[in-house]
Amino acid sequence: MDILKLAGVRFRTMIPGIDERPPRPLGPVRFVLWAAEAKAEAVASRVQGAVVVAADTEVVLDRRIFGKPTDRRQAADFLRALSGRTHLVYTAVQIIDGSSGCRAQGISRTYVTMRELSDAAISAYVRSGEAQDKAGAYAIQGEGRRLVTSIRGPYDNVVGMPMRLLTRLLGECGIPLLVKNPDGPELTPLASD
């Protein structure tokens, strides 16, 4: 949500309170689209007439979804699997305009290449606590940027809110979002936030 704040967007955060397990097995792209829609529907049902923006971000390697780790051991396992490899980060965004009834959905994709990570580097990162509550067990906008060698695609997608996509989807519903840089802040994986 820091990206939205940096863009000057006023918003209120609401927890959707849904079970993020789909009713049937889904591939990675369908999964993030389903999750973003389910979150948006849950919030829209509680706040009539509001513009609801929901997103879901997942890390994917070899069609396996690396969601948020359940504990430190799983976080370390995720990082070992991603070490030295290029994976995809998908973020789906769902818009529901409660006033007009407009709905818009889209997906953004970024390729991220991780460094070869030693067991010591993985342990130190996991101990920092930053790996918890992050898809793929890393936060590129934090110390996790040191785990990454390169990205190809929108940086803000990896953070969890692709601003170009959000701007387009809101525009489809007739809601202008005026931001100086729709690709998000001028950041690279090695810059601090």
Is residue 116 scored above 90 in pLDDT?
yes
Q: Provide the token pair at 170.
A: 């809101």
When comparing pLDDT for 152 and 24, which is higher?
152
Distance, CA of 72 to CA of 74 (rounded, Å): 5
Beta strand segments in 115-171, E: 148-152
- pLDDT > 80? residue 113: yes
Tell me the pLDDT band of 5, cut-offs 50, 70 and 90.
low
Residue holding tokens 């509001």? 50
Phi first, then psi: give them for residue 120, nearest 5 degrees.
-65, -40
pTM across the whole model: 0.85
Give me the pLDDT at residue 192, please: 26
C-alpha–C-alpha distance, residues 2 and 14, integer Å? 15
- Give the separation between CA 88 and CA 185, rounded to whole angstroms: 21
Model pLDDT for residues 128-140, shown as the tens digit of each residue: 999 998 999 999 9
Is residue 10 predicted with pLDDT exceeding 90?
Answer: no
Mean pLDDT of 13-26: 86
Domains of the chain plus CATH, in order, are: 2-172 (3.90.950.10)
Is 56 assigned a catalytic role? yes
pLDDT on residue 18: 87
List the Cα angle 4/165/84 in 5-degree steps. Answer: 90
Which is the catalytic residue, given 2, 19, 56, 119?
Answer: 56
Q: Tokens for 114?
A: 């991780």
CA distances from 41 to 32, 106, 172 (A): 14, 15, 18
